[in-house]
Amino acid sequence: MVDRYERLVADLRAEMPRFRIVRKDRSRLHRAIHIVLIGVTFGRMRSYLDSYQTTIGKTVYVTSDWDDWSADQRYVTLRHEAVHLRQFRKLTLPVMAVLYILVPLPMGLAYFRARFEMEAYAETIRAAAEVWGKSLPGSASYRKYVIDQFMGASYGWMWPFRAQLERWYDRILATIDVVDV
Ligand SMILES: [Zn+2]
Protein backbone atom coordinates (compact mmCIF):
# COMPACT_ATOMS: atom_id res chain seq x y z
CA MET A 1 0.00 0.00 0.00
CA VAL A 2 1.26 3.44 -0.92
CA ASP A 3 0.78 6.01 1.82
CA ARG A 4 0.03 9.67 1.19
CA TYR A 5 3.63 10.64 1.80
CA GLU A 6 4.91 8.32 -0.93
CA ARG A 7 2.17 9.55 -3.23
CA LEU A 8 3.20 13.17 -2.61
CA VAL A 9 6.87 12.33 -3.28
CA ALA A 10 5.86 10.72 -6.59
CA ASP A 11 3.69 13.73 -7.51
CA LEU A 12 6.51 16.15 -6.75
CA ARG A 13 8.94 14.06 -8.86
CA ALA A 14 6.49 14.26 -11.74
CA GLU A 15 6.12 18.01 -11.28
CA MET A 16 9.85 18.67 -10.75
CA PRO A 17 12.07 15.96 -12.20
CA ARG A 18 15.16 17.11 -10.29
CA PHE A 19 13.40 17.24 -6.94
CA ARG A 20 15.20 15.19 -4.28
CA ILE A 21 15.28 14.60 -0.55
CA VAL A 22 18.72 14.60 1.08
CA ARG A 23 19.81 14.12 4.67
CA LYS A 24 21.08 17.41 6.03
CA ASP A 25 23.88 15.90 8.11
CA ARG A 26 25.30 14.31 4.93
CA SER A 27 25.40 17.63 3.08
CA ARG A 28 28.62 19.63 3.15
CA LEU A 29 26.63 22.84 2.55
CA HIS A 30 24.46 22.29 5.61
CA ARG A 31 27.36 21.35 7.82
CA ALA A 32 28.91 24.69 6.76
CA ILE A 33 25.67 26.60 7.50
CA HIS A 34 25.55 24.88 10.89
CA ILE A 35 29.03 26.16 11.75
CA VAL A 36 28.21 29.70 10.54
CA LEU A 37 25.02 29.74 12.64
CA ILE A 38 26.93 28.67 15.75
CA GLY A 39 29.33 31.55 15.06
CA VAL A 40 26.79 34.32 14.43
CA THR A 41 24.63 33.31 17.40
CA PHE A 42 27.64 32.94 19.75
CA GLY A 43 26.98 29.26 20.18
CA ARG A 44 23.29 29.48 20.98
CA MET A 45 22.03 28.00 17.72
CA ARG A 46 23.30 24.42 17.78
CA SER A 47 20.18 22.59 16.65
CA TYR A 48 20.16 23.53 12.95
CA LEU A 49 21.26 20.12 11.68
CA ASP A 50 18.82 18.11 13.75
CA SER A 51 15.81 20.39 14.16
CA TYR A 52 14.79 21.92 10.86
CA GLN A 53 13.80 20.62 7.46
CA THR A 54 15.17 23.05 4.87
CA THR A 55 14.45 23.49 1.18
CA ILE A 56 17.02 24.99 -1.16
CA GLY A 57 16.36 25.05 -4.89
CA LYS A 58 15.00 21.65 -5.86
CA THR A 59 16.24 19.83 -2.77
CA VAL A 60 14.50 19.24 0.53
CA TYR A 61 17.10 18.64 3.25
CA VAL A 62 15.82 16.56 6.13
CA THR A 63 17.04 15.69 9.60
CA SER A 64 18.59 12.28 10.23
CA ASP A 65 15.48 11.04 12.08
CA TRP A 66 13.22 11.75 9.06
CA ASP A 67 12.65 8.08 8.23
CA ASP A 68 11.50 7.42 11.80
CA TRP A 69 8.70 9.99 11.52
CA SER A 70 5.23 8.72 10.75
CA ALA A 71 4.20 8.91 7.09
CA ASP A 72 1.51 11.44 8.03
CA GLN A 73 4.00 13.71 9.79
CA ARG A 74 6.37 13.52 6.80
CA TYR A 75 3.45 14.22 4.47
CA VAL A 76 2.40 17.39 6.33
CA THR A 77 5.98 18.67 6.46
CA LEU A 78 6.60 17.89 2.80
CA ARG A 79 3.43 19.79 1.84
CA HIS A 80 5.04 22.83 3.52
CA GLU A 81 8.39 22.26 1.79
CA ALA A 82 6.64 21.78 -1.58
CA VAL A 83 5.50 25.41 -1.34
CA HIS A 84 9.14 26.45 -0.97
CA LEU A 85 10.15 24.23 -3.93
CA ARG A 86 7.64 26.14 -6.08
CA GLN A 87 8.80 29.49 -4.72
CA PHE A 88 12.39 28.62 -5.73
CA ARG A 89 11.21 27.51 -9.16
CA LYS A 90 9.22 30.70 -9.69
CA LEU A 91 11.82 33.17 -8.39
CA THR A 92 15.09 31.29 -9.10
CA LEU A 93 17.57 30.35 -6.38
CA PRO A 94 19.60 33.59 -6.16
CA VAL A 95 16.53 35.87 -6.03
CA MET A 96 14.76 33.65 -3.53
CA ALA A 97 17.86 33.38 -1.33
CA VAL A 98 18.46 37.13 -1.20
CA LEU A 99 14.80 37.94 -0.50
CA TYR A 100 14.48 35.17 2.09
CA ILE A 101 17.66 35.90 4.00
CA LEU A 102 18.19 39.66 3.69
CA VAL A 103 15.16 41.76 2.71
CA PRO A 104 14.59 44.16 4.32
CA LEU A 105 16.47 42.83 7.38
CA PRO A 106 18.00 39.44 8.14
CA MET A 107 16.43 39.45 11.61
CA GLY A 108 13.58 41.23 13.38
CA LEU A 109 11.72 42.37 10.28
CA ALA A 110 12.21 39.88 7.49
CA TYR A 111 9.25 40.79 5.30
CA PHE A 112 9.90 38.40 2.44
CA ARG A 113 10.85 35.49 4.70
CA ALA A 114 7.57 36.02 6.57
CA ARG A 115 5.61 36.15 3.31
CA PHE A 116 7.25 32.96 2.00
CA GLU A 117 6.65 31.20 5.31
CA MET A 118 3.03 32.40 5.53
CA GLU A 119 2.41 30.78 2.18
CA ALA A 120 4.12 27.57 3.35
CA TYR A 121 2.49 27.46 6.80
CA ALA A 122 -0.91 27.99 5.19
CA GLU A 123 -0.21 24.69 3.47
CA THR A 124 0.91 23.15 6.80
CA ILE A 125 -2.43 24.19 8.33
CA ARG A 126 -4.42 22.76 5.40
CA ALA A 127 -2.44 19.50 5.36
CA ALA A 128 -2.76 19.08 9.15
CA ALA A 129 -6.53 19.53 8.85
CA GLU A 130 -6.64 16.96 6.07
CA VAL A 131 -4.67 14.37 8.07
CA TRP A 132 -5.74 14.93 11.67
CA GLY A 133 -8.97 16.91 11.32
CA LYS A 134 -9.61 20.62 11.44
CA SER A 135 -9.79 20.53 15.24
CA LEU A 136 -5.97 20.22 15.39
CA PRO A 137 -5.05 23.44 13.54
CA GLY A 138 -8.20 24.88 15.12
CA SER A 139 -6.77 24.40 18.61
CA ALA A 140 -5.24 27.29 20.51
CA SER A 141 -1.96 25.41 21.07
CA TYR A 142 -1.40 24.66 17.37
CA ARG A 143 -2.22 28.26 16.46
CA LYS A 144 0.25 29.49 19.05
CA TYR A 145 2.90 27.03 17.83
CA VAL A 146 2.62 28.33 14.25
CA ILE A 147 2.56 32.00 15.23
CA ASP A 148 5.55 31.48 17.52
CA GLN A 149 7.53 30.27 14.49
CA PHE A 150 7.17 33.78 13.06
CA MET A 151 7.83 35.67 16.27
CA GLY A 152 10.54 33.55 17.88
CA ALA A 153 14.16 32.58 17.36
CA SER A 154 13.53 29.62 15.00
CA TYR A 155 13.40 31.86 11.92
CA GLY A 156 15.33 34.82 13.32
CA TRP A 157 12.36 36.70 14.80
CA MET A 158 11.07 37.23 11.27
CA TRP A 159 7.79 39.05 11.99
CA PRO A 160 6.83 40.87 15.21
CA PHE A 161 3.15 41.67 14.65
CA ARG A 162 1.13 39.11 16.59
CA ALA A 163 -2.34 40.52 15.90
CA GLN A 164 -1.66 40.51 12.16
CA LEU A 165 -0.38 36.92 12.30
CA GLU A 166 -3.46 35.87 14.25
CA ARG A 167 -5.75 37.42 11.63
CA TRP A 168 -3.78 35.66 8.88
CA TYR A 169 -4.03 32.32 10.72
CA ASP A 170 -7.76 32.63 11.29
CA ARG A 171 -8.33 33.61 7.67
CA ILE A 172 -6.53 30.46 6.46
CA LEU A 173 -8.41 28.30 8.93
CA ALA A 174 -11.75 29.77 7.81
CA THR A 175 -11.09 28.64 4.22
CA ILE A 176 -10.79 24.98 5.28
CA ASP A 177 -14.08 23.18 4.98
CA VAL A 178 -13.05 19.71 6.22
CA VAL A 179 -15.24 19.16 9.26
CA ASP A 180 -13.23 16.40 10.92
CA VAL A 181 -11.65 13.04 10.18
ZN1 LIG B 1 9.21 27.04 5.58
This prediction has a pTM of 0.91
Residue 88 has pLDDT above 80, yes or no: yes
Q: What is the pLDDT of residues 37-68, one digit of tens each?
A: 888 878 877 888 888 899 999 999 999 999 99
CB-based neighbours (< 5 A) of ligand 1, an ion: 117, 120
Compute the distance from residue 120 Cα to the ligand 1 centre, in Å: 6
Compute the distance from residue 158 Cα to the ligand 1 centre, in Å: 12
The CA distance from 104 to 172, in Å, is 25
Compute the distance from residue 135 Cα to the ligand 1 centre, in Å: 22
Q: Which 8-state DSSP code applies to residue 154?
A: G
Compute the distance from residue 149 Cα to the ligand 1 centre, in Å: 10
